[in-house]
Amino acid sequence: MPEIHLPASGLAEEILPRYQDKKQGFHLVTFHLGEEYGVPIHQVREIIRVSGITMVPNSPSYMEGVINLRGRVLPVLNLRKRLKLAAKEIGKTSRIVVAEAGEKVIGLLVDAVSHVIRVAPESVESAPEEVLEIDTDYITGVGKLKNRLVILLDLEKLLRRENIETSDIEDQGGTHGKED
Amino acid sequence: MEYSELVKDFLDDAEGHLGVFDSALLSLEKDNYHREVVVSTLGPLHTLKGNSGMMGYESLKVYIHQIEEVLKKVLDQEVAIETVIDALLDSANVIREVLQAIGNNPSSNPDLTDHILAIQKRLSGTDGGTARREIDLTSYLGTKTDTIKVDFKRFDDLLNLVGELVIYKTRLNQIETQMRGVIGSKSVAKELSGGLELMGKTIAGLQEGIMRARMLPVLHVFGKFPRMVRDLARPQEKEVELVFEGEETELDKTVIDEIEEPLLHIIRNAVDHGIEDVKERVRTGKDRRGIITLAAGQESNYVIIQVKDDGRGIDFDRVREAAIGKGLLKADDVPDKEDLVSLIFGAGFSTKKETTDISGRGIGLDIVSRNISKLNGQITVDSVPGRGTVFTIKLPLSLAIIPALMVEAGEEVYAIPMSAVDESIKVREQDIHVINDHEVIRFRERVIPVVRLDEFFNIPGNRKNRFYLIILGRAEKRLAVAVDRLRGQQEIVIKPLDDTFGKSYGIAGASVLGDGRIVLIADVIAFWNKTLEQRKRGSEEQSDPASGPLFVRAREQEV
């Protein structure tokens, strides 16, 4: 394990602790959604192929459905839709990343899983303010690798209710649910 | 449940109460008077008294009543605790001995007259405190108990595991069938089948065992109402007797917990609206005392609970008037009895002009109907003017594993809880009519609304000319859900859906099938709401403020 040096700017201090496993250092599982994204390896339980997704009606559009993970009913989030990226059909390389976010376990539908990488702490910085909006605080930083960038995601923030915009379908559910 | 089991329950329970009483007395003896400590003994003693009465231990009941009197005098500071503490400590021993005697011989009914007289004497001061009585030392050990208290969560975990076991078993059976196709009926295949069959039986036994362990007699709920009925009836100058039938019928604890509130509302209604006051009953030639019967019984996979009263019955003319007043009916509407009955289950409906303590605010029966639906049950009402009203509730035995009808719409499979289903019929597209933009079907001389499953859940696919209607029942109302195909009935294990992304309207949960596929369980309340919504759109009354907060609560309780 290389020693971790915090940059003098201090920006990474806020970012790093969330991504640091005391013993393992700073490892990410990265996947593709056009750009390359990464989540801390200790949050990832497993990566599975896409099959047998049951659609759930009257749920937000980014809710892909539920899958059976060894008897457990696991919700699957379409990460492209959640991040408001252009939609893409499920293909051969598509995977579901089973990840823990706080108390919850969810599946993240991604185009392809790249690999596990180690990011040197000094190469992480927060995303430029100019590209962030109020409701995008789930992007916690950018890892600068040799010739590519990895966008670091905070899953808990990604799932937080107030961050999830009310989708058209939820609106519909609202009028239905008035009586409930 | 056998009587001896009831006695066992009573004894287990009694020892808990006696234990509280005992330790409170010891603390009083050591630290002198503390009002809170005395008060803390009253609850357990009162319960013990009630249970003793219910079990027919009349003398014990009277005795405990005397102890309560003593404690009340202490609280009122008429008597100093120091002067009665010995008598009280003795009394705990007396109860202990009585419990032991009952434990040794469940049919015994110890006579405590002497003790009752003694405690009265002591109180009245004619007895200056006698020497402590001798007590059989082994009675301190209490009766041996056959029961243990277990955190309910553990049973839930066990049941979940068994549920998964059932799923894997089904999977193995499917593999077995496939294998037979490949290797034919060689002896190894036969052995596998035999083994699987035995395992299946064991799993079924395990499942039933755990389900049974979660069961409680419905008396746990029934027993809460006699006092309420008495307290409700008294100020209204009514005499009401609450009678139990089949109170030993067992139900899953989750159902027991959920059934309390609906029963409370129905019984409260029976006292407030059903049973007449004494004057009126005498005038109409009825017995002074009204009788409300709480009855429970089992029918195959369901439990039937009835609340019967011999009161005035539902006044359908007044229901009609009230409905017109609220704009739910037009003055020239000619509703039939079924329409009117379903109206009383509507939100904010009450015919009563004045309000009693907790009744008549126009909330209640709508909550009942909702809660019952939530439990995948059904409720019906039968009422004869002048003779009384019967509410009948039909519930699944368990909330965790339920029989469900598997239906298909497009490529999707949904499970509909059987307990909500009356029957299913095969129809053709031309049987469906459209009234005011809503689809209906003529069914048994009634016109009932049709909800299309594919439309409701936005399921893509082409409709066929022939399809099926699932007839759902709720009180007197019927509703048809249109589906493409029926897949048959199956026991399913209900798993809640994760609500990270919000609740999915119309979905009550999910279940994993033998082939690993997930099916969603339809929330029948949502179908009803859809028709209700259509009805409301037609009327001017858009929302009922009185019902608002309660609906919110009902929703929060949903799993």
> Which CATH number goes with the domain that contains B553?
2.40.50.180
- Please report the pLDDT score of residue A95 as a whole number: 92
Cβ–Cβ below 8 Å for B518 and A67: yes
- By the 8 A CB rule, do B62 and B116 touch? yes
- Residue A126's CB: how many other CB atoms inside 10 A? 16
List CB contacts of B223: < 8 A, sequence separation 6 or more: B50, B54, B247
| Structural domain contains residue A180 | no
Question: Among B213, B233, B253, where does a domain finish?
Answer: B213
Cβ–Cβ below 8 Å for A179 and B519: no
Q: Is some CB atom of chain B closer than 8 A to the CB atom of A178?
A: yes
Cβ–Cβ below 8 Å for B498 and A59: no
**Judgement on whether residues B233 and B204 belong to the same structural domain of the protein:** no
- By the 8 A CB rule, do B501 and B484 touch? no
| Structural domain contains residue B413 | yes
Which chain B residue has the Cα nearest residue A171? B505
- Please report the pLDDT score of residue B441 as a whole number: 93
List B residues 165-204 in contact with A (Cβ-Cβ < 8 A): 167-168
| Structural domain contains residue B417 | yes
Structure-token pair, residue B456: 């409701």
**Judgement on whether residues B225 and B349 belong to the same structural domain of the protein:** yes
Q: Is some CB atom of chain A closer than 8 A to the CB atom of B516?
A: yes
pTM of the predicted model as reported, rounded to 2 decimal places: 0.57
For residue B454, give how far its alpha carbon lies from the nearest alpha carbon of chain A (Å). Answer: 10
Q: Which residues of A touch B165 (CB under 8 A)?
A: none
Judging by beta carbons within 10 Å of its beta carbon (0-12, 13-18, 19+), is residue B533 exposed, middle or buried? middle
Tally the domains of chain B: 4
DSSP-derived letter for residue B334 is -
Tally the domains of chain A: 1
| Structural domain contains residue A97 | yes
- Please report the pLDDT score of residue B161 as a whole number: 82
**Judgement on whether residues B477 and B357 belong to the same structural domain of the protein:** no
**Judgement on whether residues B134 and B160 belong to the same structural domain of the protein:** no
Question: Among B345, B376, B396, where does a domain finish?
Answer: B396
Please give the residue that has the higher pLDDT: either B450 or A147.
Answer: B450
For residue B555, give how far its alpha carbon lies from the nearest alpha carbon of chain A (Å). Answer: 6
Per-residue pLDDT of chain B (559 residues; tens, 9 = 90+): 566 777 888 888 888 888 888 888 888 888 777 888 888 888 888 888 888 888 888 888 888 988 888 888 888 888 888 888 888 888 888 888 888 888 888 777 778 888 888 777 776 655 544 545 566 676 666 666 667 777 888 887 887 788 778 777 877 887 888 888 888 777 888 888 888 889 988 988 888 888 888 888 888 889 888 888 888 888 888 999 999 998 888 888 888 888 888 898 899 889 988 899 899 999 999 999 999 999 998 876 678 899 999 998 887 787 788 778 777 777 777 777 777 777 777 655 655 544 443 344 344 677 788 788 878 788 888 888 888 999 999 888 777 677 889 999 998 899 999 888 989 999 999 999 998 888 999 988 889 999 999 999 988 888 888 999 999 987 778 899 999 999 988 878 777 787 776 777 888 888 887 777 899 999 888 888 777 666 555 443 333 333 322 222 233 333 2
Q: Which helix (H) or strand (E) holds B176?
A: helix B152-183
Please provide the average confidence, as pLDDT, over all residues in chain A: 75
**Judgement on whether residues B273 and B363 belong to the same structural domain of the protein:** yes
| Structural domain contains residue A3 | no
**Per-residue pLDDT tens over the stretch B415-449:** 999 888 989 999 999 999 998 888 999 988 889 99
| Structural domain contains residue A136 | yes
Nearest to residue B504, comparing CAs of B515, B518, B517, B491? B518
- CA A116 – CA A47 distance, rounded (Å): 12
In this complex, the residue of B512, B520, B551 whose CB is nearest that of residue A56 is B520
Look up residue B309 and give its amino acid: D
Three-state helix/strand/coil letters over B421-437 = EEEEEEEEHHHEEEECC
**Judgement on whether residues B380 and B469 belong to the same structural domain of the protein:** no
Nearest to residue B186, comparing CAs of B200, B176, B197? B176
**Judgement on whether residues B376 and B232 belong to the same structural domain of the protein:** yes
Q: Residue A45 is part of a domain; what is its CATH number?
A: 2.40.50.180
**Judgement on whether residues B62 and B134 belong to the same structural domain of the protein:** yes
| Structural domain contains residue B343 | yes
- Only one residue has tokens 């048809």, namely B480
- CA B28 – CA B48 distance, rounded (Å): 20
| Structural domain contains residue B146 | no
- CA B239 – CA B291 distance, rounded (Å): 9
Q: Please report the ipTM that was assigned to this predicted complex.
A: 0.71
Cβ–Cβ below 8 Å for A180 and B519: no
Structural domain boundaries, residue B182: 152-213
Q: Which helix (H) or strand (E) holds B198?
A: helix B187-213
**Per-residue pLDDT tens over the stretch A83-131:** 888 888 888 899 999 998 888 889 999 999 887 888 877 778 877 777 6
| Structural domain contains residue A2 | no
Look up residue B510 and give its amino acid: A
In this complex, the residue of B458, B495, B504 whose CB is nearest that of residue A73 is B495
Helices and strands counted in chain B (H then E) = 17, 18
- By the 8 A CB rule, do B315 and B385 touch? yes
DSSP B212-252: HHTEEETHHHHTTHHHHHHHHHGGGT-EEEEEEESTT-EEE
A:B CB pairs within 8 Å: 101
What's the longest Cα–Cα distance across chain A?
59
Mutate to test the interface with A, among B492, B500, B523, B536 (most CBs of A within 10 A): B500
- By the 8 A CB rule, do B92 and B22 touch? yes
Question: Among B163, B185, B213, where does a domain finish?
Answer: B213
- CA A109 – CA A76 distance, rounded (Å): 7
Mutate to test the interface with B, among A51, A69, A179 (most CBs of B within 10 A): A179
Cβ–Cβ below 8 Å for B501 and A178: no
**Judgement on whether residues B458 and B312 belong to the same structural domain of the protein:** no
Q: Residue B271 is part of a domain; what is its CATH number?
A: 3.30.565.10
For residue A60, give how far its alpha carbon lies from the nearest alpha carbon of chain B (Å). Answer: 7
- CA A177 – CA A172 distance, rounded (Å): 8
Nearest to residue A47, comparing CAs of A111, A4, A3, A139? A111
Structure-token pair, residue A11: 């920006």
| Structural domain contains residue A110 | yes
| Structural domain contains residue A165 | no
**Judgement on whether residues B245 and B298 belong to the same structural domain of the protein:** yes
Three-class SS of residue A39?
Answer: strand
| Structural domain contains residue B133 | yes
Which chain B residue has the Cα nearest residue A60? B501
| Structural domain contains residue A154 | yes
| Structural domain contains residue B528 | yes
**Judgement on whether residues B332 and B284 belong to the same structural domain of the protein:** yes
Q: Residue B109 is part of a domain; what is its CATH number?
A: 1.20.120.160
Structural domain boundaries, residue A151: 11-160
**Judgement on whether residues B376 and B405 belong to the same structural domain of the protein:** no
In this complex, the residue of B459, B504, B510 whose CB is nearest that of residue A59 is B504
- Please report the pLDDT score of residue B349 as a whole number: 60
For residue B147, give how far its alpha carbon lies from the nearest alpha carbon of chain A (Å). Answer: 32
| Structural domain contains residue B370 | yes
Q: Which residues of A touch B505 (CB under 8 A)?
A: 58, 172-173, 176-177, 180
Cβ–Cβ below 8 Å for B512 and A68: yes
Q: Is some CB atom of chain B closer than 8 A to the CB atom of A131?
A: no
Structure-token pair, residue A155: 């899953």
Q: Which residues of A touch B498 (CB under 8 A)?
A: 66, 73-75, 104, 106
- CA A115 – CA A108 distance, rounded (Å): 15
